[in-house]
Structure 1
Amino acid sequence: MIRHLFAFVGSLWSGWTTLSVICLVFAFWQIGFETFGPLVLPEPLETIKTVGTLISESHGLNYILITSERALLGFLTASCVGIILGLMAGWSNTLSVLSRPLVTMMQGMPPIAWIVIALLWFGGEGTPIFTVFVTTLPLIFAGTMQGVRMRDGNLDEMADSFRISRAEKFIHVQAPQIVSYLFPAWATSFAMSWKVVMTAELLASGDGVGAGLAEARVNIDTVATMAWIVAVVGLLLLFEGFVLNPVKSHVEGWKNDV
């Protein structure tokens, strides 16, 4: 009971902290607007109104949904493949050694290079999804492999002493430890997927938020540019507050019981 109360108070405090940071960002934004003028930084209130206009318009909301679908599809595909391969490499020293140069190569490859390759392979439609997949896969793979290799062996021995099945040991003993290492890489990969998909859309697609940014750039429309950015960042903050943080509290709850 007390633990849940502290968790609730902690979540409230985290929410107030996030709100305070947002207010601080808008305060500096207002100062930048008054200092440099609307061509460099538009008025925050006008940008917020433009965000509302974009969401209320069918094409604006459709662009946001298209970008969300691409980012989530690429991210979820990378999660499935990366977790499976990471588990295999974590339990195999040979695969772990062989995978290191490949992971280093994939992490060192800039997203813009993957976008060019994807354009040659898939054309405009498949480029954003593939780019998200190939740029987030190494992080998820490395996080999963690290979780397997860094798990507490004493807990495995304790589970073996109770003679539980391998499936039960994995679900109740090993998986929570693996997820605690995987989650930071998973959250980072999710945020990265949005940046990558918007970049791919900016260069290779005729729809999505990236295409909206490209259109705003052509029209030299700073307000629309900032409105698209605010819409995406706001969506990410909502997802973090209502999805990622509760999941993190749940998957790391075992640490409080140890």
Structure 2
Amino acid sequence: MTVSTSKPGTIAGALDRLSRAGLFLWSGWAGLAALALIAAVWQVGHEAYGDFILPAPLAVLRRAGAILSDGEALAIALQTGGRASEGLAIAVLVGTSAGIIAGYAPAVLRMMRPFLTVLLGVPPIAWIVLAMIWFGNSDGTVLLTVFVAATPVVLAGAAEGIVTRDRGLDMMAQAFGAGPLRRFATLGLRQLGAHFFPALVLALATAFKVAVMAELLANAGGIGGELAEARSNFDIEGALAWVLIGVSLLIATEYGLVQPVRAELDRWRSAARPWGVKR
């Protein structure tokens, strides 16, 4: 007689994870509706100003598909995505660590505020010029610019998440014998996400924008280099096609990586919501 070794809790957990994945995918209809609205406004602008000023969205979409059919063009797009992601990863590592320390140490937070003001006050174009002097048209120019632009946003989000945490829950866990690391892993990180993930999404968008800007000005290849070539040829349709490719890469990164992780870490919030009430 064979005895089943599957545990009911394991099956229930798998079904719960599957249902949350289904809800996440179903929520994509709202995003598709927003994209359709943008395309409709774009079409109105095309009909008002013509092809030279604003090509039709379907024409740009076809041009983007033709560009991506070339393997070299796909490598160019992935080069920009890789640079933006690498710079953002360094910014997340440094900014999150510094933000957590600042959140738990008010004196450190007060010291970092002028530092954040300085970094946020200097425009990205200035950092691009400095990075071009230091690194030329290499990857270092793009990585440094992305790092400097994204780090303050991540740092501020992490620090705010720790500062606004529920200290009552922390004290309760301490009363039940949970140590500092246990309290941080089970409570601090969960509450950190409320401020950290919106900041991370903003930093992700900033990373892609700044990466393309740095590539264009430093002639470092990637999508920015293709935009510079389209500008020199007055190829508006080609420029918009590359912009569409860059935005698609950004959306794929956010909703393929960042939002699923956020949904997984924020699942504890659903216990406090009434049935049927969704964000």
Note whether the superposition's TM-score is higher than 0.5.
yes
Hey, what does 2:53 align to over in structure 1? Answer: 40
Matched, 1:233 2:247: yes
> Which structure's CA Rg is the greater one?
2
Distance 1:178 1:163 in 2: 22
8 Å CA contact retained: 2:81, 2:249: no
Provide the residue aligned with 1:220 in structure 2.
234
- Asked if the contact 1:115–1:200 (Cα under 8 Å) also holds between the matched residues in 2, the reply is yes
Q: CA deviation at 1:13?
A: 5.1
Q: Distance in 2 between matches of 1:136 and 1:219?
A: 32
Which residue does the alignment assign to 1:76? 89
- Tell me, yes or no, if structure 1 residue 115 matches structure 2 residue 128: yes
**8 A contact 2:128–2:214 mirrored in 1:** yes
**Aligned counterpart, 1:244:** 258
In the alignment, structure 1 segments of 5+ residues that lack a partner are: none
User: How many corresponding residue pairs?
Assistant: 258
Measure, in 1, the Cα distance between the counterparts of 2:21 and 2:78. Answer: 32
In structure 2, the gaps of 5 or more residues are 1-11, 273-279
Task: Give the secondary-structure state (helix, strand or coil) at the position aligned to 1:206.
Answer: coil
Paired AA for residue 122 in structure 1: F
| SS of match in other structure, 2:136 | helix
Write out per-residue CA displacement over residues 123-162 of structure 1, whole angstroms, 9 at most, x where no aligned residue: 1111111000001100111111111111111111111111
Evaluate the alpha carbon distance shift between residue 70 and residue 5 of structure 1 in structure 2; reply closer, same or farther with a 3 A threshold: closer
- Computed over aligned residues only, the root mean square deviation of the Cα atoms, in angstroms, reads 2.0
Check whether the contact 1:180–1:251 (CA below 8 A) recurs between aligned residues: no
Instruction: Tell me which of 28, 47, 69 is aligned to 1:15.
Output: 28
Alpha-carbon offset, residue 117 of structure 1: 1.1
1-structure distance, mates of 2:188, 2:162: 8
Partner amino acid, structure 1, of 2:127: W
Give the number of the structure whose residues are more often helix, by fraction.
1
Quick check: 1:137 aligned with 2:151?
A: yes
TM-score, normalised on structure 1? 0.93
2:181 aligned with 1:167: yes
The match for 2:168 among 137, 145, 154 is: 154
